[in-house]
Structure 1
Amino acid sequence: MDQRGIGRDELRAVVAELIGAEPGAVSMDADLFELGLESIVLMRLVGRFRKQGSTVTFAELAAQPNISAWSELIGGSAESSSRNPERQSTLVEPDTSEFDLALLQHAYWIGRSAEQRFGGVAPHLYTEFDGEAVDPDRLRAALDAVAQRHEMLRARISDNGQQRIEPTSGWRGLTVHDLRSESDPTDRLEETRLRLTHQMLDIEAGEMFSADLSLLPNGRTRLHLDIDMIAGDAVSFRILVADLARAYDGDPLRAIEYSYSRYLADRPLDRRSARAQAERYWSERVDSLPGAPTLPLLEHDSGAPVALRRAFHLDSAAYGDLQTHARAHGVTPAVAVATAFAEVIGAWSREQRFLLNVPMFDRAPTHPDVENLIGDFSSSVMLEVDLSEPLSFVERSRRIRSRLHEDASHADYSGVEVLRDLGRRRGEPVLAPVVFTSALGLGELFDARARQVFGDPVWIMSQGPQVVLDAQITELDGGVLVNWDIRENEFLPGVPDAMFDAFETLVRALVVDGDSVWAEPVGQLVPPRQLMSRTPAADVPRTDASQSAGNETLHRAFFDRASQHPDALALEWGENGSMTYGDLRDRALKVAAALTDRGVGVGDTVGVTLPKGPDQVVAVLGVLAAGGVYVPIGVDQPSSRAALIARKAGFTVTIGGSGDDGLAVSHAILSEPRPAPHLGPDTAPAYMIFTSGSTGEPKGVVVSHRAAMNTIMDLVERFDLNEGYRPLCLSELDFDLCTFDLFSVFAAGGTAVLIEEHERKDPQRWAALIRAHRVTVISCVPPLLDMILSTGDDVGGSLEVVMLGGDKVSIDLYRRLTAAVPGCRFAGLGGATETAIHNSICEVVDVDPNWRTVPFGVPLASMALRVVDARGNQVPDWVPGELWVAGVGLADGYLGDPERTNERFVEADRYRWYRTGDLVRYCPGSMAETGSMVEFVGRVDNQIKINGFRIELGEIEAALTADHEVASAAAVVDRTAAPILLAAVVPTDRDADPRETVAAVRARAAERLPAHMVPEQIVTVSALPLTVNGKIDSAAVVRLCRAAGESERVDARIAPRTHLESALALIWQKVLGVDGIGVTDTLFALGGDSVLATTIVARIRESFDITSVTVRMMFAAPTVAGLADRMIGAEGDAEFLEATAEIFLSVEAMSEDELSAALEHHS
């Protein structure tokens, strides 16, 4: 191109050729992206124009994608290029004996270390070609010729992160597998595939590629070819295969007159100003960037990597249809597939804003031979995807296209560098392990000659360190190969297959349906087989006004029992307190009469504020017998809150109250009894419980008889509760577990064992009552059972069933109970006041290793559960979402608050659902006979954000309680200043040293959690503080942690204790620019990254004159103290290191004059 630019017709011809169109079909003002111009093709065009003297940028061309605008841009930039001093800079000859790794090469080198998160795997591209009569000797010679032509196939990577080109390649030679005598070589071929797809080439020995040849029956052959991507990217692999075919055919391979090392030296000079602009662009965005998708991954070390490949192929006709539909909607096929990928990732991600790692192929034309080189010319873009707003598929595609074009135009500051910047800001390494690679626009994957020589590619797999999912699309056989390479053993069971199946279904829908799929938001992506394992709402009775009323009220069974068996014991308490059904009936009917005399009518509310004991039961039954609705108010409630509840509930009588509206049970039972109880319809309200509200005022939950009885009868029948049923009634009356305690007894005809007021905080007394009264069932919140078991007191052998609800249930409690009471059945229940006590159950028989806590389980009878995302779509298995509950057990709503009622009780699929606010996930296969179970994760409103990371406190607690030294734990946030994470743990060994326990728990938490989720302060407590209802008191936990003082805080810096630690701290300080480094401060918390780690290691090697310290060693022990220990272990001579460090420190303390004088003295 001369300085006048390129003519419009010539430009149109060039573009038309690249997009596969006739020049006449490309109008001057047509949007080229709508005509099928892929981003990767545009990058190649930019390179071509720059090679010809233009300074036009990707961003400029992408902003105005038409021939007319391009012609002017190219012409104008050509004129300015002659005045651009950067283009006239003299290129400096690099030192080719040893040179630095490129950015992505360096990331590959660091990431392959097993100490890295998702590390322990080489970046390599493996392909199998099935052909005929490939000759081993010719192939061996061809491989040698190709290795001699391409210097990067002769590279060797040193242990300090440098690369050197050797005279000969370090590859191990061709391995031939003679399987010609095998009747069926399938197993042997699979063994070879498994070994090679998981191999890690010895790059430090110069092994940059490998080749195996399997000789098969009937003259068939299979070529197994593998390249380490530190030597060459995907385009380089195409070059390798093409050159290999030419060499195999005997064609001479011309020497390449340019080198990869020279390219690395030339490239920064060529793009200096563009890089500066790109760096500014990303520095302005980095603080607002999200993190990686939060996919359902295992929380613990998964061991050696296991690679899984899933793929499908769109034939040429299907690809043509996809191109037609995409262009009709103004996007390219690559963007359409990328959008489908993003939607699927979003469906399996907890977060709807996330980063995708998008590789870019960008060979700058600094020399005519660049296009012939093997090397790593790739870069990456951190593509921000935001799915939080529901959009049609086409609108989503357009937004992703715009974001990608803008980000790609600033790719001179690579994604690797952006991740490092994020890591420095967030104090720990930030990864982008989900990759989407598009090679559409690069032509066929392998050229015709290569396929003629070696055969068709039948298996392609790429792996990369610190990558869990790499999706690729490339052209093959006139169509498109869509390939996923998955680190399978990092995912929870079934996730990769489910994700891929959903992705393939969505992509094929885009091909088949040109309108509805594109025009609407992507709907539910849950695989049908997962939906089939869940209880459908269609199996649940509707709960609308059309339902006919029944008569199974809470108190009917009691009065029936009292009539039939008046002498049977209804209540027991204390040493010898008791009350028969007949006595309890008489007292209740007298209270009912007294309430009627006070003007209480059917449906009226009555307050009950009494200490624990038999009077509570008398009062509740009396209210119901009068046709009223009881409203329990705890005796510990502040008077102001009690008055607020009374005003909201509208009652004029309070049983146990001390004011003018007060009615004492002792006075009420002097009344003449009511002749019979009021037994109204079961759809009428039975009780109202006030729970804490987000506005600061309590909200009254109105629960009908039918709703409560649905829960009660399920559990009575499930556990075969009968006349021998003797529960210990631990819960407070204003906590709805008490409703179950009382009315399940009456439904079964059993005897309730009551706690008296003076006993309600005494777990040793509870244990004694269990023994004395031969209690058969305990139903309570988990901390109360923990208190009983922690006493160490014998509870006897009468316990048959323990049901825990109201909070998450730890696996440890199940194990402790079964050890204390062998044979006792154990169940965890999920529930809420708004779902009439409980809505789901999990009876534990065996503990699934994937459980973090006992799951909520499966729905109770006539109930349905649904786990949904922010759009209301059901989520796949293992993905957290909000729990919605439907069915007979739903409350009527919130008293006098239609706005809040409509917000929390919603209509969907013709059913009424309660939005619980619980964050849960489906656990597949946990109970095969009943389908998938629901597991509690945390609270939707319990998610916090610290240093840019969204954190769920329940996940932290699950990790802490998974520790064998922790019986229970609570994670909280101290918001006094900047929010910080705190945790209190109850040790299993109460006599252990608290500091040692905290240190051990913290270390193991760091193995299970990312650094940003490890609490800054952990304290040990004998018991977690509880609210009056037995739930963990978060505010009290914060106070406990504050009171523990600064001594246990992790940010209390420890000064160097040896010369070696002092020397290392000084080197770190100089490289990182941070003063006062403590020996336990982590590299990343100090703003370090892999590049700075490499610099630190180089300084240590130089200062100590040793080679044993490596970057991998530093990543394995990223603190001064840890690195010092590793160095001593590697050198085996602590005295030498200590003496050398002392000399180093003395030299560093010298002034320049003192140093010069010392050198003169020794010369």
Structure 2
Amino acid sequence: MTSHEPTPEALRRTIAELVDEEPGAIDENANLFALGLGSIAVMRLIGGWRRGGLMVNFAELAENPTLAAWTGLLTARTPETPAGAETETEAEDGEKDGGRYGDGGEGAEFPLAVMQHAYWIGRTDGQRLGGVAAHLYTEFDTAPGQGVDPAVLRTALERLVERHAMLRARFTDDGRQRIEARSGWRGLTVHDLRGLDGPALERRLEDIRQTLSHQLLGIDRGEVFSTALSLLPGDRTRLHLDVDMVAADAVSYRILLADLARLHTEPDTELPAIDYSYRQYRAARPEAARTAADHWRERLPHLPGAPELPLAPEPDRTAAARVTRRHFVLGPEARGRLTEAARRRGLTPAMTVATAFAEVIGAWSATPRFLLNVPLFDREPLHPHIDRIIGDFTGSVLLDVDLTEPLPFADRAHAIQTRMHADMAHADHSGVEVLRDLTRRAGEQVLAPVVFTSALNLGELFHPTVRAAFGDPVWIVSQGPQVLLDAQITELGGGLLVNWDIREDELAPGTAEAMFGAFERLVHRLAEDGPAWDLPVDDLPPAAQPAARARANDTGRPRRDRPLHQDFFTLARRNPHAPALLWGDDGTMTYGDLADRALRVAAALAARGVRPGDPVGVTLPKGPGQAVAVLGVLAAGGSYTPIGVDQPPARAARITETAGLSVTVTAGHPGPDAAEDSGRALPLPAALQVPPLPAPVSGGTGEPGDGTDDDPERPAYLLFTSGSTGEPKGVDVPHRAVVNTLDDLAERYSLGPGDRTLALSALDFDMSVFDLFAPLSTGGAVVFPDQDDRRDAARWAELARRHRVTVLNCVPALLDMLLTGANDPGDSLRLVLLGGDRVAPELPGRLAAKVPGCRFVALGGTTETAIHSTVREVGTVPPHWHCVPYGTPLRNVVCRVVDHLGRDCPDWVPGELWIGGDGVALGYRGDPGRTADRFVEHLGRRWYRTGDQARWTPVDGIEFLGRRDHQVKIRGFRVELGEVEAALTADPRVRSAVALAAGSPAALTAAVVPAGAHSASDTTPEALREALRDRLPPHMVPDRITVLDAVPLTANGKTDRAALAALTARQSPGPARTAPGTPLERAVAHIWQQTLGVKDVAADEELFALGGDSVRATGIIARLREALDAPQASVRMLFAAPTVAGLARALAAAHPDPGRLERVAQLFLDIEALSDDEVATRLDAARAPGQEDGR
């Protein structure tokens, strides 16, 4: 494109050439993107027009991409000299170069480009996904008889280094670069492997590959590329080429290879001269537009985070950063079909593949909205020779992908393409700079480690001359710092080469393979130009995963429908003298006595008009009376509704009203229950005076007096749980559901007459249903603590020993209390069943130490799914468990884990747990809206949406991750409180921990209970926070930790988070601030304050929390070196010790004379304290003639 205004005819010809069409075939109102005009081509057009003074931007062109619109836009613009642009003469003379970066001579330093700086910083250790180079490694194999001559190749490489200045670049340790006269290249390494064959040859080649493909070149020594040549049998060779992308981007890589091939095959040919340099380009490049920066800063509060892909458990991650390449090739015909299908829908091939990538990432991400990092190849045509030089010309855009709403694929692609075009208009403020802005905002480093790179319209990756010279590429892998996954598409052999370079060890096992397989399948489906374009994307997990879940959900067993209480009355007739209830030191009640009393209550209720299905309240203290009342209600055909004796009167009244209770069984003495004063009370002592009903028999009529109810769908009990609105919600659970649960556990764990349970759970908590009916349906007995003993673990242990308790079913907190200190439950305990809350991974070991041989079982479930739905027996606890998994479904129960659209999540991906099958309740009493929302139909089955976050895992089945309301946002990061709690309890000093989010904006706090012999004095908050920094990212380390003797519990034995929040707020002071002490600490703090623009930096505050980022870190190090004469200071040191105190210690440790460093620091502080006038006066005095030293 010429520098003057392009005519409509010239514009038409240019566009036609770019989209491979005849000029006359392009309608002036046709969508040019739909014709195949890619974003890279548009950016090149913009660059040419800008160079000619026509200032247009991407957003303007993307708004109406037609010939007519573009012609009008260009015609309306008056050519002007763009700010920062230079003429060829200026470039050749180096005038601007000298003006901005010094004299421009060889060896003069100049700044790193934005992306170069990101690569340079990312090489340092101590950062998430850091410590690696951005480099591209390729191997080329020749055919037999066509091996490369090492001498000829060496000469060509030497000429290549001479030709390209950036191959002689050296990168300084304070973040700058300069061109040296000589390169740090180590020369061509030759491996003579001609004497090897078969497995020995393959092993040696693999060793070379592993060494070179993951190396960290010494760019501080000027080593920006490496070359090796392996001589193979049969006159074959393999060329190993590794290029660090800090010196050469993807386009530069193509230039290097093409030049090398020509220098190798045509050694006597002179390549076209290069009269321009990367250094000149960097000097002439316009600075980032302020409007672009403003655009992104306005969006910062609304930008999502990176995709939350399932990561490997910490113990399974490898220390070495290893990248695996996965790839597939879309052949020329398939590429043509894909391109044509995209064009017809107004899409570019690049955005089509990007959308497929986004859909796959979204399916494996915990959140449907996330950022993709999209590199841009952005060479401004500032000089005729710009396409001959190498360097880093890349920019990037952070693409905001929102998959919240279900859309057909084509519509999704249009939305993503529109977003991409809009953001590219503001790409002068690059994605790297946006990440720095986000880092300063968040107070810790923010990454965008999932990358999508399109090299379409850049031409073939390997020019035919390259293949002719060195053979076919047989291995390619790229690596990047702070990159988890880099997907790339490029042209190869007329088709598309699609690569994923991925740190597989960072991801959960099998995740990389599953994701890539889904991506490949989706791209091929799109290339078939079938219905995939017009439907929402679904069925992405590999076939093996739904098959494994189908096996786990294959739980169907014959169901024996009967009332919940039937087995008890049958056993009472058969063995009336067997003990049924035990309490206190010697309290006992036989099956016969219990049945008689229950039938008297049933008769009294029938006399009050209770009919089958009617709810009946039960308000009684812990003890045998509860069992009498519950069995009496069931025998009368009613459903029992427990109301705790300690319930506030107002809440008890709401439960009574919502349930529609006409009668409530009470203790018969004044108490807090609403029934006492309402005329609805049936005192238990009075009921026991009524003649009993006949004992229920199977197959009865279901009428009062028959004493039975054979309808399995009739409610057995109505339990009220806490609602999110504060109003209690009543769950109607049918006989069918609860009998299914109890039958499974009774059979699975051989419950029988010899078993005795300890009934710790409150009657209005659903775990009490097992406590009562599991033993009473199998001939066992129930042991009751007194109401006053319900929080006395020592008394529980005494009861367990006295009555030889064999089965304990409770929430984890109650087992924790029972195992604490000197409590001894005795040796009769054979089975512990835990449910109702997260089960800490340390509990199985503590139980085994206290009661060897006792089986430990974790159960998952909800009140709405009849107590328990899943089971996992635990032996050895793996080190990566945050909590004991839920495991697999019980009989006749099925489970799903679904995303926000109701699609099944892949393995390891968190979603909402749905439970279906025979255990599902009827719904919420008197609340059809809530029932319709939580109880849903899917594929002919009724499901309960639990609201719990869970995930399927290949080995452990379902893993519970926590309540959805236990996921909080801290400084923009999503935090799972359970993960913080697991990290705290992994500390041997901590027995239990609870994490909370409190205040506005939310701050992360935690409460801990010391373990064993540890006390509050040796379990200090500061020590715990320091330990957490090794286990958790900064935003997950609590701002405040409170040490308690015990965690407050609700009446059901669960953690009382509301009480705990109030308690920690009263007891915990804010985090203590430690002022810098030594001169060195004060000097470091002073430099931080100057660089970061903050005041009062504490010795233990972290760099990122103060608004630091990688650029400011570089500035801090440069200032430290200058001010303190400390050449040992490095960015690596700062990232490893990101506090004032930590950096001061590291500087002193690395200095040969720490004492001198302290003295220099004090001198620096003294000088900094002087005013400008005082400094000038002292300098004048020092220069005054005749001034005598010391006088």
TM-score by structure 1 length?
0.96
Matched, 1:718 2:752: no
Q: Which amino acid aligns with 1:257?
A: D
Counterpart for residue 521 of structure 1 = 536
Matched, 1:880 2:910: yes
- Counterpart of 2:991 (choices 951, 955, 967) is 967
Matched, 1:673 2:692: yes
Asked if 2 retains the 8 angstrom alpha-carbon contact of 1:713 and 1:747, the reply is no
Asked if 2 retains the 8 angstrom alpha-carbon contact of 1:894 and 1:900, the reply is yes
For residue 489 of structure 1, report the CA deviation from its aligned partner.
1.3
Counterpart for residue 271 of structure 2 = 253
**C-alpha distance after superposition, 1:45-81 (max 9, x if no partner):** 222333344322222222222222223333443x332
CA–CA separation in structure 1 for the residues paired with 2:226 and 2:31: 45
For residue 102 of structure 1, report the CA deviation from its aligned partner.
1.1
Matched, 1:739 2:769: yes
SS at match of 2:598: helix
- Counterpart of 1:938 (choices 953, 962, 982) is 962
Query: Quick one: structure 1 residues 1132 and 1037, their matched pair in 2 at CA, closer, same or farther if it must change by over 3 Å?
Result: farther
CA–CA separation in structure 1 for the residues paired with 2:836 and 2:496: 52
Asked if 1 retains the 8 angstrom alpha-carbon contact of 2:844 and 2:875, the reply is no
For residue 528 of structure 1, report the CA deviation from its aligned partner.
1.0
- Counterpart of 2:1048 (choices 1019, 1025, 1033) is 1025
Counterpart for residue 983 of structure 1 = 1006
Q: Percent identity?
A: 55
**C-alpha distance after superposition, 1:848-870 (max 9, x if no partner):** 33321001110000000000001
SS at match of 2:234: helix
CA–CA separation in structure 2 for the residues paired with 1:551 and 1:497: 45
Counterpart for residue 1094 of structure 1 = 1114
Query: Quick one: structure 1 residues 779 and 3, their matched pair in 2 at CA, closer, same or farther if it must change by over 3 Å?
Result: closer
Counterpart for residue 367 of structure 2 = 351
CA–CA separation in structure 1 for the residues paired with 2:880 and 2:18: 51
Asked if 1 retains the 8 angstrom alpha-carbon contact of 2:885 and 2:960, the reply is yes
Q: CA RMSD in A?
A: 1.8
Asked if 2 retains the 8 angstrom alpha-carbon contact of 1:549 and 1:683, the reply is no
Residue segments in structure 2 that go unaligned for 5+ positions in a row: 667-674, 697-706, 1184-1191
CA–CA separation in structure 1 for the residues paired with 2:1004 and 2:1126: 41
Asked if 1 retains the 8 angstrom alpha-carbon contact of 2:833 and 2:856, the reply is yes
- Counterpart of 2:954 (choices 896, 921, 924) is 924
Number of aligned residue pairs: 1142
CA–CA separation in structure 1 for the residues paired with 2:560 and 2:1033: 54
For residue 28 of structure 1, report the CA deviation from its aligned partner.
2.2
Asked if 1 retains the 8 angstrom alpha-carbon contact of 2:51 and 2:85, the reply is no
For residue 127 of structure 1, report the CA deviation from its aligned partner.
0.9
Matched, 1:910 2:920: no
SS at match of 1:460: strand
CA–CA separation in structure 1 for the residues paired with 2:231 and 2:1014: 67
For residue 495 of structure 1, report the CA deviation from its aligned partner.
0.7
Alignment of 1:209-228 (within 5 A): 209-228=225-244
**C-alpha distance after superposition, 1:141-188 (max 9, x if no partner):** 111111111111111111111212111111112122222222222222
SS at match of 2:1041: strand
**C-alpha distance after superposition, 1:778-807 (max 9, x if no partner):** 110000000011133222211111110000
For residue 569 of structure 1, report the CA deviation from its aligned partner.
0.9
Q: Which amino acid aligns with 1:738?
A: S
For residue 550 of structure 1, report the CA deviation from its aligned partner.
6.1
Q: Which amino acid aligns with 1:1000?
A: A
CA–CA separation in structure 1 for the residues paired with 2:272 and 2:559: 91
For residue 1053 of structure 1, report the CA deviation from its aligned partner.
2.2
CA–CA separation in structure 1 for the residues paired with 2:84 and 2:917: 75
Asked if 2 retains the 8 angstrom alpha-carbon contact of 1:124 and 1:229, the reply is yes
- Counterpart of 1:430 (choices 421, 425, 446) is 446
Counterpart for residue 187 of structure 2 = 173
Counterpart for residue 671 of structure 2 = none
Matched, 1:686 2:706: no
SS at match of 1:336: helix
Query: Quick one: structure 1 residues 474 and 801, their matched pair in 2 at CA, closer, same or farther if it must change by over 3 Å?
Result: same
CA–CA separation in structure 2 for the residues paired with 1:725 and 1:549: 24
**C-alpha distance after superposition, 1:418-448 (max 9, x if no partner):** 0011111111111000000000111111111
Matched, 1:263 2:292: no
Counterpart for residue 870 of structure 2 = 840
Counterpart for residue 545 of structure 1 = none
Asked if 2 retains the 8 angstrom alpha-carbon contact of 1:379 and 1:411, the reply is yes
Q: Which amino acid aligns with 1:34?
A: A
Counterpart for residue 611 of structure 2 = 601
Matched, 1:849 2:860: no
Counterpart for residue 702 of structure 2 = none
Asked if 2 retains the 8 angstrom alpha-carbon contact of 1:1053 and 1:1077, the reply is no
**C-alpha distance after superposition, 1:1081-1139 (max 9, x if no partner):** 11111111111111111111111112001111111111111100110111143321211
CA–CA separation in structure 1 for the residues paired with 2:559 and 2:1138: 68
SS at match of 1:689: strand
- Counterpart of 1:415 (choices 416, 425, 431) is 431
Asked if 1 retains the 8 angstrom alpha-carbon contact of 2:53 and 2:82, the reply is no
CA–CA separation in structure 2 for the residues paired with 1:305 and 1:820: 43
For residue 82 of structure 1, report the CA deviation from its aligned partner.
5.1
Asked if 2 retains the 8 angstrom alpha-carbon contact of 1:725 and 1:776, the reply is yes
Matched, 1:393 2:404: no
For residue 297 of structure 1, report the CA deviation from its aligned partner.
1.4
Matched, 1:276 2:296: no
Asked if 1 retains the 8 angstrom alpha-carbon contact of 2:86 and 2:382, the reply is no
Counterpart for residue 929 of structure 1 = none
Matched, 1:306 2:325: no
Q: Which amino acid aligns with 2:544?
A: R
Matched, 1:129 2:140: yes
- Counterpart of 1:901 (choices 931, 941, 945) is 931
Matched, 1:1064 2:1084: yes
Counterpart for residue 648 of structure 1 = 658
Q: Which amino acid aligns with 1:717?
A: E
Alignment of 1:759-798 (within 5 A): 759-798=789-828
Q: Which amino acid aligns with 2:758?
A: L
**C-alpha distance after superposition, 1:819-843 (max 9, x if no partner):** 2112111111111000000110111
Asked if 1 retains the 8 angstrom alpha-carbon contact of 2:378 and 2:393, the reply is yes
- Counterpart of 1:99 (choices 79, 85, 110) is 110
Asked if 2 retains the 8 angstrom alpha-carbon contact of 1:994 and 1:1020, the reply is no
Runs of 4+ in structure 1 deviating by more than 4 angstroms, as ranges, are 1-4, 82-90, 536-542, 548-551, 993-996
Asked if 1 retains the 8 angstrom alpha-carbon contact of 2:53 and 2:79, the reply is no
Query: Quick one: structure 1 residues 996 and 1129, their matched pair in 2 at CA, closer, same or farther if it must change by over 3 Å?
Result: farther
Q: Which amino acid aligns with 1:13?
A: R
**C-alpha distance after superposition, 1:518-568 (max 9, x if no partner):** 1111113121111111136984669xxxxx996421111101111111111
CA–CA separation in structure 2 for the residues paired with 1:1056 and 1:948: 30
Query: Quick one: structure 1 residues 85 and 751, their matched pair in 2 at CA, closer, same or farther if it must change by over 3 Å?
Result: closer
- Counterpart of 2:1151 (choices 1131, 1134, 1138) is 1131
**C-alpha distance after superposition, 1:438-492 (max 9, x if no partner):** 0011111111111110111122111100000000000000000000000111111
- Counterpart of 2:1058 (choices 1024, 1029, 1035) is 1035
CA–CA separation in structure 2 for the residues paired with 1:532 and 1:849: 28
SS at match of 2:79: helix
Q: Which amino acid aligns with 1:98?
A: E
Matched, 1:57 2:54: no
Q: Which amino acid aligns with 1:865?
A: C
SS at match of 1:1008: coil
Asked if 1 retains the 8 angstrom alpha-carbon contact of 2:112 and 2:176, the reply is yes
Asked if 2 retains the 8 angstrom alpha-carbon contact of 1:311 and 1:481, the reply is yes
For residue 989 of structure 1, report the CA deviation from its aligned partner.
4.0
TM-score by structure 2 length?
0.94
CA–CA separation in structure 1 for the residues paired with 2:583 and 2:507: 52
Q: Which amino acid aligns with 1:28?
A: E
Asked if 2 retains the 8 angstrom alpha-carbon contact of 1:3 and 1:75, the reply is no
For residue 255 of structure 1, report the CA deviation from its aligned partner.
4.2
CA–CA separation in structure 2 for the residues paired with 1:1022 and 1:591: 44
Matched, 1:617 2:627: yes
CA–CA separation in structure 2 for the residues paired with 1:903 and 1:872: 13
Counterpart for residue 1140 of structure 1 = 1160
CA–CA separation in structure 1 for the residues paired with 2:325 and 2:1046: 49
Alignment of 1:139-154 (within 5 A): 139-154=153-168
**C-alpha distance after superposition, 1:249-294 (max 9, x if no partner):** 21333442111111111102xxx4x612211211221221111111
Matched, 1:119 2:130: yes
**C-alpha distance after superposition, 1:194-213 (max 9, x if no partner):** 22111111111111001111
Matched, 1:341 2:351: no
